[in-house]
Structure 1
Amino acid sequence: MAVTGILLVLFLVAHMLGNLKVFTGETSFDHYAHWLREIGSPLLPPAGYLWLQRTVLLVAVLAHIGAATALALRARAARPVRYAHRKAVKGSYAARTMRWGGVIILLFVIYHILDLTTGHLNPQGDAGNPYGNVVADFAPERWYVTLFYTLAIVALGFHLRHGAFSAFRSLGQQTPKGERRARAAALVLAVALSAGYLVVPFAVLTGLVA
């Protein structure tokens, strides 16, 4: 679960950096989007790299969900009889909402693909104008899309905060000093990625990007 989580985080970082190119202007952003379809050419067919990336990500997501399910079943099997009285377990909000956060993120990913990848849910839906699709998607009159996007990214931030810390633990971090560093690093990662993803829709909503 830690390994697949790290793979997905690396994709999130790369995807966020690509999104931020929207601030460099329409021409630059569209050029970047089209360049992604040409990576590996002529060895790979048009959009071959993107389909390879999508396949790897799909396998990683399925493996991540499978690992989460296996851990949940293992925890339940370890205590088949419920406690008659169970003390409240101290933990962060992120830790207590990992499963629900994962479900929200999965639903958002499905919507996001139908919106900005296939264009079925995008008001413009023009594959040749990625910049225009982004602007049309987060236009002021579609504030509810920005709201949904924000809720999903906040859920992602909580998920990342606890997930990154857990990954550090799973991969060998055990000392108290290391735990403090892991918590700090997980928090910085979650905040940075959340801010990086949210700045684009709000820039469009406020007219900074148009």
Structure 2
Amino acid sequence: MTASPPLIVTRPEPGNAATVERARAMGFEAFAMPLFDARPVDWTPPRAGDYDALLLTSAFAARLAGQGLAELASLPVHAVGTATARAAEAAGLTVAMTGSAGAQRLLDDMTSANIRNILWLCGQDRSEFSALDVAVVPLPCYAVDPVPPPAGWTELTAAPAILLAHSMRAARRISDLVGMRRDHLSLVAISPAVAAAAGTGWRDLAIAEQPDDVAILAQARALWHKGTK
């Protein structure tokens, strides 16, 4: 097999380093190019008894929520992706369900299970969900702020490369930064919604089979193999 194309990892830390390490172990020439920085924000925990479950769509909610998270420990957690589930467990929470097909599917499964009052610990910038017959109360406990592209971004994206988009905001930011001259670049999105946010015109646009790091890197490897044929 030929040498791997550069793999550009855009997610914030600490996830960026973990993805880069995993990618390099797979043989990729991986570059840490975080386009965002995550930070905690002030929040006040509500009364846990007012809710049936806690929805977490990002590991940042568990990592950055701080001491207030302990007041919600009685709520069963429904998490999107294994990384979020692991972060929740590390924070002392009990994970009742781990979604493997995105936030909307997980919310639909919660609705089917007659879970009606849901507290969503989220970021200040968040996606919207279709939540019929249930009450989903968003409570921001962290923020993810854009940062300037790291040194080397322009040179890396000027040549063929594979980029990873772990969120809709990342997909939009990548799209804005590379502009319309992108037919030499391949992008792997962690979900169909993220792929849609990336737009068109890529050399290849692939979607991870599950919303986790293992799946997104598996798709990147598939593109690598495709490029050697």
Tell me which interval the TM-score lies in, with the shorter structure as reference length.
Answer: under 0.3
| Higher Rg | 1
> Could you tell me the TM-score, scaled by structure 1's length?
0.25
**Higher share in helix:** 1
> Could you tell me the TM-score, scaled by structure 2's length?
0.24
**Higher share in strand:** 2
Higher relative contact order (CA 8 A, sep 6+): 1
